[in-house]
Structure 1
Amino acid sequence: MTDSAEPAGERRTRKRVTNYGTGRAALLDAAVRVVARGGLRKLTYRAVAEEAGVTHGLVVHHFGSRDALIEEAVTHAVRSSLSNSTLGLGTGKPAEFATGLTQMVESGPELQAFQYELLLEARRRPELLPQLRSLYEEYFEATRRELSRMLPGPVERGTSRLVFAALEGLVLHQLVFGEREVTEEALTELRTLLERLAEGHAES
């Protein structure tokens, strides 16, 4: 598939003083920012070139087709998300679970928004599901491992999914509404629940 035509209103020139780089990774970072702002339908060669401060031809040279650009952007985002995830970085103590979550959202909102855009787009483009499923399986497993360090006995799949769903919901709400302090309050409550669950296991 070739670059889709953009309405004239979408092609207005924007002067950028920042050059993010011309390497493949820099172009993929630019693609993530484009999708985060306008959704996957806004991802075109020209939009990525403008975002990265490079020529349209350079983006074409690196990716060859819009489908290839999308596929590589997804792979790049998956790798970046896993490397930036705060899951699995704790000490095994409930009181320190998911520390750094709010900072992760504030420092990388485009990456978070990109993931949510892809989740919605995957309903219309099933070919995106394998990579997204791979990403989320990593998240689920990281959550399970961290909970296993806190709670005695095996951690059921439903438990780890429930905890991850709480974290993902908090990320989404902070991304949309801001309110970092509300996220921190909710995390405090979640940690308290985990502490009580751990204590209950220890007493039984």
Structure 2
Amino acid sequence: MKDSTKRRDYGTGKEALLRATVHVVAAKGLRGMTFRAVAEEAGVNNTLIAHHFGTRDKLLAAALEWSGRQSIAAADLSEYASDSDSYIQALLENILTTRSSEIFQYEMILEATRRPELQPAVQALYRRYVAALVPGLAPAGLVTDSSLGRAVFAALDGLMLQYLSAAITAEELIDALRSLRAVLPSGPR
């Protein structure tokens, strides 16, 4: 059983359950995510989960939406427009502080390939990420349309997956991000 200090960190209500869901899935995978495991992680009775979300799929979809909002809020993409080194540093800090959230999102993305009912939540996640990315890059004339924004996000997404799976080191991630910045079209400065 988790100690009460850890449980207090999750907060209260629905958000505590969403945060606990993200952590359980990141640690145990989707097969290990049960109402009981989430309730234990959050330090609540598992009947609260059914009360707030009804089904496992509704809980997962809500946790995916919540974790995406948290990740977007934590990353200040506007930094990229004026100072790519600051952006790279902010991105690394974001990855390190939201590791569970990022792993959870990849678990959900892969699960959606097998379960079409989860695809709308994953599609919405990617739309939100691209929508957050494009305005952050536009002031420097880097990316002004959603097609290129999707391509840039796909590169960032792939690099993050490689980093989280230990396929590349932090130094290799930094080098790749700098290379990506160097090849992006830029407008007048």
Instruction: Please give the range of the TM-score, normalised by the shorter of the 2 chains.
Output: 0.7 to 0.9
Identity %: 40
**Could you state the TM-score of these two structures normalised by the residue count of structure 1?**
0.76
How far did residue 183 of structure 1 move?
1.3
Corresponding residue for residue 99 of structure 2 = 109
- Is structure 2 residue 154 aligned with structure 1 residue 165? yes
Tell me which stretches of 4 or more aligned residues in structure 1 moved more than 6 Å.
none
How far did residue 110 of structure 1 move?
0.7
Structure 1 portions without partners, runs of 5+: 1-14
Change over 3 Å in CA distance of 1:97–1:162 after alignment to 2: farther
Corresponding residue for residue 48 of structure 1 = 38
How many residues are paired up? Answer: 183
- Aligned runs of 1:71-150 on 2, under 5 Å? 71-87=61-77, 89-90=78-79, 92-93=81-82, 95-96=84-85, 98-99=87-88, 100-150=90-140
**Could you state the TM-score of these two structures normalised by the residue count of structure 2?**
0.81
TM-superposition CA deviations, 1:63-98 (whole Å, max 9, x none): 3332332232223223223322343x2262363473
TM-superposition CA deviations, 1:146-185 (whole Å, max 9, x none): 3322227x74544322221221112112212172222112
Structure 2 portions without partners, runs of 5+: none
Q: Structure 1: how far apart are the matches of 2:12 and 2:86? A: 38
Instruction: Give the alignment's Cα RMSD to 1 decimal.
Output: 2.6
1:140 and 1:161 in contact (8 A); partners too: yes
Structure 2 residue aligned with 1:63, among 48, 53, 59?
A: 53
Greater Rg, structure 1 or structure 2?
Answer: 1
Structure with the largest fraction of helix: 2
How far did residue 22 of structure 1 move?
4.2
Aligned-partner SS, 1:54: coil
Corresponding residue for residue 171 of structure 2 = 181
- Is structure 2 residue 6 aligned with structure 1 residue 16? no
Q: Structure 2: how far apart are the matches of 1:157 and 1:166? A: 14
